[in-house]
Amino acid sequence: MAVPSMITWLPQIDSSIVLDSLKSLLLLLCVLIARTLVVRSIARNSALTMEAKRRWVVTVRNSMVFVFLLGLVVIWAHELQAFAVSLVALAAALVLATKELLLCWSGAALRVGGKVYSVGDRIQIAGHRGVVLDHDIFATKLLEMGRGSRRTCIPGA
């Protein structure tokens, strides 16, 4: 079984990704060279105390990490934008899919937090009047009084 050469699989890769990868590697190389030169000049400076040198080296290191990350964001901005759009679409789909569940949870939190009613209380909800038999996150069960007794389940949302 022959191993595919680089020439056969390279055209299948999107050229913008290859170009962005090369830009990222070049940025990394430039940042590392700049950091090395600045740290060497700090180390050679005899006017600074050892503590000041340490502080400057840490500051330079953190600054170079920030510059590198900022450069990566700039280089890969178009890819990150497409990824962000995908994440927003996924989040919107999750909210739409779980809307009723979220409404039930918020209603239950309101009932529990406000201690609106409990089992045995006489309440009226949406035209239904009766004694609370049970309530949970998803529904409230009433024993309706009036024209005969019947059990009614009222959704929590």
The string of pLDDT tens digits covering residues 50-108 is: 888 999 999 999 999 999 999 999 999 888 888 888 999 999 999 899 888 888 888 88
Residues 47 and 71 in one domain: yes
Q: Please check whether residue 4 lies inside any domain of the structure.
A: no
Q: What's the pTM value of the predicted model, to 2 decimals?
A: 0.51
51 part of a folded domain: yes
Last residue of a domain, one of 97, 114, 142: 97
**Residue labelled with tokens 């939190």:** 109
Residue matched to tokens 């959704």:
155
Say whether both 144 and 112 belong to one domain: yes
Confidence grade of residue 13 (pLDDT, cut at 50, 70, 90): low
In a domain, 40, yes or no: yes
Q: State which residues form the domain around 22.
A: 15-97
Q: Are residues 118 and 138 in the same domain?
A: yes
Domain count, the chain: 2
**Listed residues 97, 116, 147: the one ending a domain:** 97
Helix (H) or strand (E) holding 55: helix 50-75
Closest CA to 152 of 120, 129, 121: 129
